[in-house]
Amino acid sequence: MANTLQFDLVSPERKLASVQATEVQIPGTDGDMTAMEGHSATITTLRPGILKAIGPTGTLAFAVTGGFAEISGSSVSVLAERAIPVEDLSGTVLDGLVQEARDLAALAPADQKDGAEKLVNDMLALRQSIAH
């Protein structure tokens, strides 16, 4: 299809998506980005947030907790630490993700506390974005 790119999303557990998309919205560690056909080659790390693939058949949205995205001119491949379809999210699942981040932050060595607290804040922001 013209003006589309191949979007593939995998997590350690399974392949979650393999579709044609007109754009992919990515929650990057250095800022959100949108990849479209012809995007320059890029590799970015993911922060917790909502990953969306928008295509001719609709929008797929996933909550991701981290991972990597590789963008080329004709494809976006995402390897997520954890990816959950937005329609499968519940308050309980989101609370569990936030608590998991808090537990990790409590165990983090002193030189990694800032990064651990950022993870907690990103998870809280993810929870807030789903609540609206």
Identify the pLDDT of residue 23.
Answer: 96
- The confidence score (pLDDT) of residue 132 equals 56
CA 25 from centroid of its chain's CA atoms: 9
pLDDT 10s digit of each residue in the chain, 132 long? 568 999 999 999 899 999 999 999 999 999 999 999 988 999 999 999 999 999 988 999 999 999 999 999 899 999 999 999 999 888 888 888 888 888 888 888 888 888 878 887 787 888 887 765
Q: Does domain 5-86 sit in CATH 1.10.1280.10?
A: no
pLDDT score of 102: 86
pLDDT, residue 90, reads 81
Alpha-carbon distance of 47 to 29, in angstroms, equals 5
Distances (CA, A) of 87 to 59, 60, 91, 98: 12, 10, 12, 18
Q: Where are the domains of the chain?
A: 5-86, 89-131
| Contacts of residue 22, Cβ cutoff 8 Å, sequence gap at least 6 | 3, 4, 5, 36, 37, 54, 55, 56
